């Protein structure tokens, strides 16, 4: 079978004797052609044959077949009289295979790449498809064998913790912020570990970190000359979290204000005020209609006295609550009477209501009817659902910090009500917004005033934390560095660990994640 000269296809340093192509594999018989080999113990060259044996090596696959090398290896006698070794096996060049390895160096190299890129099980799956005859364990062993790249010189370092196991065990991740690559992973977040690493890198000039944890003091001790930069994203988050705490601390007054339900018109925007005034006019008219009805006045007579349409009078008498802000006219409006009748007849299932309406020609979607049914159900509750209308603290905090122009009317009313009832929270909101703006627009000069203003507020404890870490916070507003790259790396690390079903050990994670310098 010599259609093709196989010599250039083999690793250098081997001579081909024969090639055998089988259905599932190609077997290449070969030998190392040099006559003399040096004894590994004494270095004396020898060509005196003792025996021969066959060594099998797996090589890169070819044409959809596994490639197997069968090497005739000589065992030679050592010619030096005093050498403790009497015989030795002819060594193979390292480009061919490692000592006593079962695969060629180039197959190991490719397999290692696969393991680093994909991890054990997925890597082994792909290897099988590629006809690389290696299993999961071999793959992982090869990845471990790869020596992690040295950290190199790091000028700007990002440092953060990552969870081996949430709330139980944490490691430390170190990133080169200039090159945006992971430079090392540490097994824990211990001060001693971090300090040891930092001391080995005196070249570090900038360290970006979040404010929590012991990283600040570790950097203070082990890299005192480095400029510390608080991470901007964390600063923003910390401020929002501080506001949530503030909301929680005054939840009682907020609940009272919201369930009271009074609206101070001064707090509404112009458009909302127009709506509110319209509501008051409607309410006045509606109250008059209801009073007449309560006194036994027939509908026809009510229509005559109030000048309202018969339809409106009927609708008013049907609804117990008046909505402050009228929802925009809905495709449901012409069907309300029909809907109401079905509801009163006992049909409380939104889907069934919708099917009935649709059969009668209603073209709207199910959601509209579902929402109506929810409102209708709520209006039947004894307290009108007032207690349930106070949203959770997180929602209140988020709504209060949101862009005012984007709030729905009901949200704007809620915010206005809360801020009127709890002015301290309104002040806290302003402080947090000022802080956000300061970080976003990078205005370091605003920091001292902000710290002073915050000291006597609902976010005072957050303010004290900022004051204690003032240098790093100021650096966050002046330095270009931020820990974004580190955050991204943590995401990558999580992904890799998930591929390993969370079982990846540190050496494996290092091998897969720490990029060469
Ligand atoms: Zn020897």
Average pLDDT value over all residues in the chain: 83
How far, in Å, is the centroid of ligand 1 from the Cα of 45?
8
Token pair in block for residue 439: 């970080």
CB hemisphere CA count around 440 (13 angstroms): 9
How far, in Å, is the centroid of ligand 1 from the Cα of 40?
6
How far, in Å, is the centroid of ligand 1 from the Cα of 46?
9
How far, in Å, is the centroid of ligand 1 from the Cα of 48?
12
How far, in Å, is the centroid of ligand 1 from the Cα of 83?
5
How far, in Å, is the centroid of ligand 1 from the Cα of 206?
56
pLDDT tens, position by position, 161-203: 888 877 788 888 999 888 888 888 888 888 888 888 898 888 9
Phi, psi of 356 (to 5 degrees): -60, -45
How far, in Å, is the centroid of ligand 1 from the Cα of 78?
5
How far, in Å, is the centroid of ligand 1 from the Cα of 42?
4
How far, in Å, is the centroid of ligand 1 from the Cα of 38?
8
Q: What is the pLDDT of residue 272?
A: 57
Q: State yes or no: pLDDT of 381 exceeds 70.
A: no
Residue whose C-alpha is closest to residue 115's, from 516, 515, 509: 509
Q: What is the pLDDT of residue 327?
A: 47
How far, in Å, is the centroid of ligand 1 from the Cα of 407?
87
Compute the residue count for the chain. Answer: 517
**Residues in contact with 145: Cβ distance below 8 Å, sequence separation at least 6, in sequence order:** 112
Distance between CA atoms of residues 263 and 275, nearest Å = 12
Q: State yes or no: pLDDT of 8 exceeds 90.
A: no
Rounded (5°) CA angle 73-79-81: 140
Q: What is the pLDDT of residue 6?
A: 67
User: What is the three-state SS of 29-74?
Assistant: EEECCCCCEECCCCCCEECCEEEEEEEEEEEEEECCEEEEEEEEEE
Instruction: Kindly tell me the number of DSSP H helices and DSSP E strands found in the chain.
Output: 21, 12
How far, in Å, is the centroid of ligand 1 from the Cα of 25?
38
How far, in Å, is the centroid of ligand 1 from the Cα of 53?
20
- Cα→Cα distances 189→164, 168, 195, 213, 254, Å: 11, 12, 10, 9, 40
How far, in Å, is the centroid of ligand 1 from the Cα of 473?
68
How far, in Å, is the centroid of ligand 1 from the Cα of 39?
4
Percentage of the chain beyond pLDDT 70 is 87
**Cα–chain center distance at 476:** 22
How far, in Å, is the centroid of ligand 1 from the Cα of 71?
23
Residue whose C-alpha is closest to residue 176's, from 152, 192, 141: 152
Q: What is the pLDDT of residue 1?
A: 47
How far, in Å, is the centroid of ligand 1 from the Cα of 81?
8
How far, in Å, is the centroid of ligand 1 from the Cα of 86?
7
SS3 177: coil
Distance between CA atoms of residues 47 and 32, nearest Å = 13
- Cα→Cα distances 477→233, 237, 387, 406, Å: 12, 15, 43, 28
Q: Which chain residues have CB less than 5 Å from ligand 1, an ion?
A: 39, 41-42, 78, 80, 83, 85
Distance between CA atoms of residues 163 and 11, nearest Å = 44
Distance between CA atoms of residues 184 and 471, nearest Å = 26
How far, in Å, is the centroid of ligand 1 from the Cα of 44?
6
Distance between CA atoms of residues 304 and 295, nearest Å = 15
How far, in Å, is the centroid of ligand 1 from the Cα of 49?
14
**Residues in contact with 35: Cβ distance below 8 Å, sequence separation at least 6, in sequence order:** 47
How far, in Å, is the centroid of ligand 1 from the Cα of 94?
20
pLDDT tens, position by position, 485-507: 888 888 888 888 877 766 667 77
Can you say whether the dihedral through the CA atoms of 355, 356, 357, 362 is positive or negative?
A: positive
Token pair in block for residue 173: 């991740």
Least confident interval from 128-132, 144-148, 294-298, 339-343: 144-148
pLDDT band at 275 (very low <50, low <70, confident <90, very high): low
Q: What is the pLDDT of residue 389?
A: 62
Task: Tell whether pTM > 0.85.
Answer: no
Q: What is the pLDDT of residue 517?
A: 53
Range ranked top by mean pLDDT from 69-83, 112-126, 274-288: 69-83
């Amino acid at each position: 079978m010599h259609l093709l000269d196989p010599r250039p296809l083999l690793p250098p340093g081997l001579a081909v004797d024969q090639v055998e192509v089988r259905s599932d594999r190609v077997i290449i018989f070969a030998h190392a052609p040099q006559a003399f080999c040096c004894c590994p113990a004494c270095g004396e060259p020898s060509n005196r044959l003792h025996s021969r044996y066959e060594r099998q090596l797996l090589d890169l696959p070819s044409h959809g077949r596994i490639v197997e090398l069968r090497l005739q290896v000589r065992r030679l006698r050592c010619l030096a009289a005093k050498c403790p070794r009497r015989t030795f096996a002819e060594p193979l060049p390292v480009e061919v295979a490692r000592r006593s390895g079962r695969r060629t160096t180039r197959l190991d190299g490719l397999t290692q790449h696969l393991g680093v890129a994909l991890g054990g099980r997925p890597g082994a799956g792909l290897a099988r498809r590629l006809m690389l005859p290696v299993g999961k364990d071999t793959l992982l062993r090869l990845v471990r064998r790869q020596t992690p790249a040295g950290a190199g010189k790091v000028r700007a370092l990002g440092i953060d913790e990552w969870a081996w196991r949430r709330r139980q065990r944490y490691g430390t991740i170190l990133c080169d912020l200039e090159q945006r690559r992971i430079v090392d992973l540490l097994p824990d977040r211990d001060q001693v570990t971090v300090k040891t690493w930092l001391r080995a890198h005196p070249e570090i000039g900038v360290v970006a970190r979040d404010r929590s944890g012991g990283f600040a003091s570790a950097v203070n001790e082990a890299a005192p000359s480095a400029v510390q930069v608080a991470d901007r994203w964390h600063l923003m988050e910390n401020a929002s979290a501080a506001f949530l705490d503030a909301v929680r601390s005054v939840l009682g007054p907020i609940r009272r204000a919201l369930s009271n339900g009074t609206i101070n018109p001064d707090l509404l925007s112009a458009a909302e005020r127009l709506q509110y005034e319209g509501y008051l006019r409607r309410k006045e008219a509606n109250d008059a209609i209801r009073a007449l009805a309560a006194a036994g006045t027939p509908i026809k007579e009510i229509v005559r006295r109030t000048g309202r349409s018969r339809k409106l009078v009927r609708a008013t008498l049907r609804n117990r609550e008046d909505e402050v802000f009228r929802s925009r006219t809905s495709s449901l409006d012409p069907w309300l009477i029909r809907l109401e009748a079905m509801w009163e007849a006992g049909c409380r299932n939104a889907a069934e209501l919708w099917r009935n309406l649709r059969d009668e020609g209603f073209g709207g979607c199910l959601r509209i009817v579902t929402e109506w049914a929810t409102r209708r159900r709520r209006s039947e509750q004894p307290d009108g659902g007032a207690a349930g209308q106070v949203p959770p603290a997180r929602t209140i905090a988020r709504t209060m910090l949101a862009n005012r122009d984007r709030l729905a009317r009901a949200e704007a009313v809620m915010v206005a009500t809360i801020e009127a009832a709890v002015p301290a929270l309104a002040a806290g909101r302003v402080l947090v917004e000022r802080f956000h703006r300061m970080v976003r627009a990078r205005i370091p000069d605003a920091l001292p005033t902000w710290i002073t203003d915050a000291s006597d507020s609902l976010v005072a404890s957050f303010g004290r934390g900022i004051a204690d870490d003032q240098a790093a916070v100021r650096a966050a507003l002046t330095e270009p560095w931020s820990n974004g790259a580190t955050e991204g790396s943590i995401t990558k690390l999580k992904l890799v660990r998930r591929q390993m079903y969370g079982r990846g050990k540190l050496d494996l994670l290092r091998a897969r994640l720490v990029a060469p310098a």
